[in-house]
Amino acid sequence: MADDNSSTSKYNIATELVFIDSEAVKDNYNAASVPIYQTATFKQKEADGSGGEYDYTRSGNPTRTAVEAHLAKIMKAERAFVVSTGMTALDVILRLVKTGQEIITGDDLYGGTNRLLTYVSQYNGVKVHNVDTTDVVQIEQRLDPVKTRLVLLESPTNPLIKIADIRKVTERVHQLCPSALVVVDNTMMSPYLQNTLDMGVDIEYHSGTKYLSGHHDLMAGVIGCRSTQVAEQLFFVINSNGSGLGAFDCWLLLRGVKTLAIRMEKQQSNAILIADFLEAQGLKVHYPGLQSHPCYELHKSLASGPGAVLSFETGDVALSERIVEAARLWAISVSFGCVNSLISMPCKMSHASIPAEVRKQRQLPEDLIRLCVGIEHVEDLIGDLTNALQNAGVQVKH
């Protein structure tokens, strides 16, 4: 079970996820569920528009305030924001980078992240360095005290499940480039398993579409800031471009967050058994819950669990295609973090926007299969994988 040992937290993280602080939500009627303020504008009492806490939902909404306060608490952020999608969250963060500045990021990235960084590089005059972020030295070699603005990490990465030493990277970046910000996409772990702001990271962001909502019935992005100064800069962007999350989606997100602990515990326990099963078949499995993972101990020092996303290689693209198409319980779909189990081939779906030559250069296997484990009974999930493997021509070991 994930525990929160921070002296600033009243309860364990599983309790904090459920408990809505009444001081953060102003409601005259004490509703048990945070109300949905489905309104674009708010009436004012003064002719100059002053006197009201809210005036226009683009700038603020009580339902959005409630979910942002709740997420700030569980992320241990000075301030948190919710926006329309996870990619919007990254886009807002990238507005902090000016022409002529540089970004250092990984060579194993979500396809959408790679696409947006490519755009910024081509049209905004920003240099993007893709390096192996599991090697702190490679990051240090690209740091420039004047030009480096962001160091952007995924850990674990998507889809090869690489682990970066977030603490060490953050420490070295702040030492060598005091003006640079360390940003971590923590979507794969969620705040339940890993808290990067506690490690000194400046900005943590999530696709709220994934584990935080848990049901794939909304799209959202979440940003948590360690400092008020950075938070104010990001709020200016959000207020200016109108990317704040709508009231109803804020309510759905808040509802989803409350069940994060029980969902993640079940998904993770399933994933551990499934990873063991696949490794026993002689397949190359990428999962930080396996002792065979090269960063098994490092990940244990960073997070309270390995999560519920894993990938494996078959050695043959056609074989992988047959396995994916033979699965029945595992839906062929992009994304992860849902209560339902999903299967996909990243190079053909979520990472297809990365050119084939770049995927080859970054050693992203074309035969790679990604599993996003849900809350179904694990025997059924393993049984379905067994049938898929056998139907594809793999001799399964029992």
User: Which residues are catalytic, by number?
Assistant: 58, 110, 185, 210
Is the separation of the CB atoms in 36 and 218 below 8 Å?
no
Strands 221-225 and 203-207: antiparallel
Is the separation of the CB atoms in 197 and 77 below 8 Å?
yes
Is the separation of the CB atoms in 224 and 202 below 8 Å?
no
For 346, the token pair is 């990243």
Which ranges in the chain belong to alpha helices (H)? Answer: 13-18, 62-75, 86-94, 111-123, 136-142, 166-176, 190-193, 228-241, 247-258, 260-280, 296-302, 317-326, 356-361, 378-392
Cα angle 370, 187, 13 (rounded to 5 degrees) comes to: 120
Q: What does the DSSP assignment read for 95-145?
A: TTPPTT-EEEEESS--HHHHHHHHHHHHHS--EEEEE-TT-HHHHHHH--T
Q: What does the DSSP assignment read for 272-300?
A: HHHHHHHHHTT-EEE-TTSTTSTTHHHHH
Query: How far, in Å, CA of 296 to CA of 396, rounded?
Result: 26
